[in-house]
Amino acid sequence: VSSAFSSDSSSGKPSPPVGVELLTPWPHAHLITSSDWDLVTVRTLLKTANHYFQTVFQTGSSSSCNPSDNHSVLTGHSVVNLFYEQSTRTRISFELAAKKLGATVINFEVSTSSVGKGESLEDTLSTLIAMGINAIVVRHASSGTPVLLHRQFGEAIHIINAGDGTHDHPTQGLLDLLTLFNAFELPLGTGTLQGKKVVIVGDILHSRVARSNLYFLNLLGATVHVVAPPALLPKNIEDLGCTAHHHLEKALQDADVVMGLRLQRERQSDQFVASLAEYTHFYGLTQDRLQRFCKPGVFIMHPGPVNRGVEMSSDLIDHPQSLITKQVRYGVAVRMAILSLCLSKPLTKS
């Protein structure tokens, strides 16, 4: 295994890790939008991530002093976490992933940076590039920010989208796929989610997680249903490959997987639901509702953070069929794979 992590000293680029036997050469220096990545790319990523998962988590090597924890492919590389929005899981797992690969990681603190002095995102990025930073992981409240940054700086620095506005959250979509493939014990190189009904419940209108999942779940052949109160369900959502519902019980019928979403109150300019209590009454996921309508053994997912007792009851979050903790763990492995693969691809010079 260790030979798969060797460094190609002539280019200064890390060699791509295992998994890339599906796709050589690896084509992407960036992760900007979910739909930029096709089926073979996604399968390669999942295989690579699963390899990292097995070597980092399954061998009991998650304690900090085990040398096999550090695969070192990114030694000498620097990654800046540029988070303009709050985050727990995504930011920490990107930091952990980069550190496990041996990279130098810098967490950009918006509150203590020159952003408060009026510096633009473009000037901030130019500053990081001048310092020789190799990659940024960017989260921003404005949809499309990574697309614009890629257009301007894509030949100078690797750009990874960690969530942009209501638009896209590709690393979440990918970690959800890996979680599902392993839950259903499907082969990563050839398996599909054909015949699996996935129901996404909650604030679809404001959810970048829902949009990323719609792309990746459809790519792997799942049947996707979304359900939300009318005001939280965009009119054209079915164009993204799903069946839309307002009625929770109908949507849950024979579901194999139910994914809960948080009400994104920080993005809601209007009063989209009359009250939280009313939302929970009509759309709250409970053990009783899942037992009555879904397939036995239905899997429960949520990207977090969860508002316990609002979109999902506490007993469901901690239920044996809940994949929520697994999603978090696979998240680290998926981000290791994304960083090591994207940084192995040379940036083309203008």
Burial class (CB in 10 A: 0-12, 13-18, 19+), 277: exposed
CB of 33 to ligand NCD, least distance (A): 15
CB 267 within 8 A of CB 206: yes
CB of 304 to ligand NCD, least distance (A): 5
CB of 309 to ligand NCD, least distance (A): 16
d(CA 167, CA 234): 13
Residues with Cβ within 8 Å of residue 278, at least 6 apart in sequence: none
Nearer to ligand NCD, 47 or 208 (CB): 208
Nearer to ligand NCD, 218 or 307 (CB): 307
Nearer to ligand NCD, 44 or 93 (CB): 93
CB-based closest residue to ligand NCD: 262
CB of 320 to ligand NCD, least distance (A): 22
Nearer to ligand NCD, 74 or 204 (CB): 204
Nearer to ligand NCD, 176 or 256 (CB): 176
The stretches of 108-207 forming alpha helices (DSSP H) are: 121-130, 145-153, 170-183
Nearer to ligand NCD, 254 or 266 (CB): 266
First-to-last alpha carbon distance for the chain, in angstroms, is: 36
Q: At what angle do helices 170-183 and 89-100 cross, to 10 degrees?
A: 80
CB atoms under 10 Å from CB of 219, counted, come to: 21
Nearer to ligand NCD, 175 or 341 (CB): 175
Kindly report the backbone phi and psi dihedral angles of residue 56, in degrees, each rounded to the nearest multiple of 5, phi listed first.
-95, -40
CB of 23 to ligand NCD, least distance (A): 26
CB 139 within 8 A of CB 162: yes
CB atoms under 10 Å from CB of 33, counted, come to: 19
Q: List contacts with ligand NCD (CB under 6 A).
A: 89-90, 163, 169, 172, 208-209, 262, 264, 303-304
CB of 24 to ligand NCD, least distance (A): 31
Distances (CA, A) of 250 to 153, 241, 247, 284, 316: 47, 18, 6, 14, 19
CB of 331 to ligand NCD, least distance (A): 8
